[in-house]
Structure 1
Amino acid sequence: MNNPEKINEDKTSGVHNSYWMDSVEPLSFKKLSAEMATDVLVIGGGIGGLTTAYCLAKSGKKVILVEDGFLGSGETGRTTAQIAYALDDRYYDIESYFGLEKTKKVAQSHKEAIDFIERIVKEENIDCNFKRVNGYLFLDPSDKEENLDEEFEATQRLGLPTEMLYDIPDFIGEYREKCILFPGQGQFHIMKYLKGLADAFVKYGGEIYTESRASDIDKNGAKVNGFQVKANHIVVATNSPINDILTMHTKQWAYRTYVVAVKVPKGKLPYAMWWDTGNQESKWNAKPYHYVRLEPFDDENDLLISGGEDHKTGQADEENLPEEHRYASLLSWTKRHFPYFIEIVYKWSGQVMEPIDCLAFLGKNPGDENIYIITGDSGNGMTHCTIGGNLISDLINGKENLYEEIYNPSRMTFKAGVDFISEVGSMAYKMAKDWVNADINMPSELKAGEGAIMSKGLRKLAVYRDEAGKLHSCSAVCPHLGGVLQWNNDEKSFDCPLHGSRFTTDGTVINGPAISDLTKVDVRDE
Structure 2
Amino acid sequence: MKPLWKIDASLPLGSPFEAGARHDVVIVGAGITGLTTAVMLTRAGLDVAVIEAGDVAELATGGNTGKLSLLQGKRLAEIRRHHPAALVRAYVDANREGMDWLIAFADHAGVPYTWRTDHSYAQTADGLETVREQHAAAREAGLDTRMLTPGDLGTTPFPVSGAVALDDQVTIDPVTVTQALAREYIEEGGTLHTGIRATGAHVLPSPRVDTAEGPVFGEHIVLATGSPILDRGLYFTKTSGMRSYCVSFRVPGDVLTSTFLSVDGPTRSIRPVSDADGPAGTAQLVVGGNGHPVGRSDSERAAVDDLVSWTAQHFPGAEETHRWSAQDYTSHNEIPFVGAMPRGLGAIRFATGYAKWGLSNAPAAALRLTAEILGTSWRDRPRWMTAISTRLTVPADLTEGAVEGAKVAAAATAGWVEAESRAVPVPQPEEGTGVLANRGGLPVGVSTVDGVTRAVSAVCTHLGGVLAWNDAECSWDCPLHASRFAPDGTRIEGPALKDLKNLPRTGGS
TM-score of the aligned structures, taking structure 1 as reference length = 0.89
Q: Identify which of 416, 423, 428 aligns with 2:404.
A: 423
By how many angstroms is 1:382 displaced?
Answer: 1.0
1:198 aligns with 2:174: no
In structure 1, what is the equivalent of residue 426 of structure 2?
443
Q: What is the correspondence of 1:55-454 to structure 2 with a 5 Å cutoff?
A: 55-123=40-108, 125-127=109-111, 129-141=112-124, 143-167=126-150, 168=153, 171-174=156-159, 177-219=161-203, 220-244=207-231, 247-265=234-252, 268-279=254-265, 289-296=267-274, 302-317=283-298, 322-337=299-314, 339-368=315-344, 369-399=346-376, 400=378, 401=381, 402-408=383-389, 412-438=393-419, 441=423, 442-454=425-437
Higher mean alpha-carbon deviation, 150-159 vs 370-379, is at: 150-159
Instruction: Find the residue that maps to 1:85 and give its secondary structure.
Output: coil
Instruction: Find the residue that maps to 2:342 and give its secondary structure.
Output: coil
Instruction: Find the residue that maps to 1:77 and give its secondary structure.
Output: coil
Q: Verify the 8 A CA contact 1:162 1:181 in the aligned structure 2.
A: yes
Q: 2:200, 2:280 → 1: CA distance?
A: 49
Q: Verify the 8 A CA contact 1:104 1:158 in the aligned structure 2.
A: yes
In structure 1, what is the equivalent of residue 448 of structure 2?
465
Q: 1:169, 1:24 → 2: CA distance?
A: 37
Q: Which amino acid aligns with 2:493?
A: N
Q: 1:432, 1:303 → 2: CA distance?
A: 44
Q: 2:397, 2:74 → 1: CA distance?
A: 13
Deviation string, structure 1 residues 67-115 (Cα, Å, up to 9, x no partner)? 0101011221011111111124442331232311121111111122221
Q: 1:263, 1:466 → 2: CA distance?
A: 29
Decide whether aligned partners of structure 1 residues 299 and 71 sit closer, same or farther in structure 2, where only a CA change above 3 A counts. Answer: closer
Q: 1:259, 1:27 → 2: CA distance?
A: 25
Q: 2:102, 2:436 → 1: CA distance?
A: 44
Higher mean alpha-carbon deviation, 478-487 vs 347-356, is at: 347-356
By how many angstroms is 1:135 displaced?
Answer: 0.3
Decide whether aligned partners of structure 1 residues 444 and 406 sit closer, same or farther in structure 2, where only a CA change above 3 A counts. Answer: farther
By how many angstroms is 1:270 displaced?
Answer: 4.0
Q: 2:389, 2:478 → 1: CA distance?
A: 27
Q: 2:87, 2:397 → 1: CA distance?
A: 16
Q: 2:180, 2:154 → 1: CA distance?
A: 33
Instruction: Find the residue that maps to 2:126 and give its secondary structure.
Output: coil
Decide whether aligned partners of structure 1 residues 260 and 63 sit closer, same or farther in structure 2, where only a CA change above 3 A counts. Answer: same
By how many angstroms is 1:334 displaced?
Answer: 2.7
Deviation string, structure 1 residues 112-157 (Cα, Å, up to 9, x no partner)? 222111111122x233x31221101111327342332222122222
Q: 1:525, 1:49 → 2: CA distance?
A: 46
Q: 2:316, 2:448 → 1: CA distance?
A: 40
Q: Verify the 8 A CA contact 1:262 1:341 in the aligned structure 2.
A: no
TM-score of the aligned structures, taking structure 2 as reference length = 0.91
- How many residues in Structure 1 have an aligned counterpart in Structure 2? 493
Decide whether aligned partners of structure 1 residues 253 and 278 sit closer, same or farther in structure 2, where only a CA change above 3 A counts. Answer: same
Q: Verify the 8 A CA contact 2:115 2:169 in the aligned structure 1.
A: yes
Deviation string, structure 1 residues 235-267 (Cα, Å, up to 9, x no partner)? 00011111226610111111110111011247x
Q: Verify the 8 A CA contact 2:11 2:179 in the aligned structure 1.
A: no
Instruction: Find the residue that maps to 2:385 and give its secondary structure.
Output: coil
Q: 1:299, 1:473 → 2: CA distance?
A: 42
Q: Which runs of 5+ in 1 are unaligned?
A: 1-15, 280-287
Decide whether aligned partners of structure 1 residues 487 and 94 sit closer, same or farther in structure 2, where only a CA change above 3 A counts. Answer: same
Q: Verify the 8 A CA contact 1:88 1:379 in the aligned structure 2.
A: no
**Cα RMSD (Å):** 2.2
Q: Verify the 8 A CA contact 2:200 2:229 in the aligned structure 1.
A: no
Q: 1:424, 1:69 → 2: CA distance?
A: 31
By how many angstroms is 1:296 displaced?
Answer: 1.9
Q: 2:364, 2:123 → 1: CA distance?
A: 29
Q: Which runs of 5+ in 2 are unaligned?
A: none
Q: What percentage of aligned pairs have identical amino acids?
A: 25
Q: Which amino acid aligns with 1:190?
A: P
Q: Which amino acid aligns with 1:495?
A: D
Decide whether aligned partners of structure 1 residues 409 and 254 sit closer, same or farther in structure 2, where only a CA change above 3 A counts. Answer: farther
By how many angstroms is 1:345 displaced?
Answer: 0.5
1:481 aligns with 2:463: yes
Q: Verify the 8 A CA contact 2:74 2:130 in the aligned structure 1.
A: no
By how many angstroms is 1:162 displaced?
Answer: 0.7
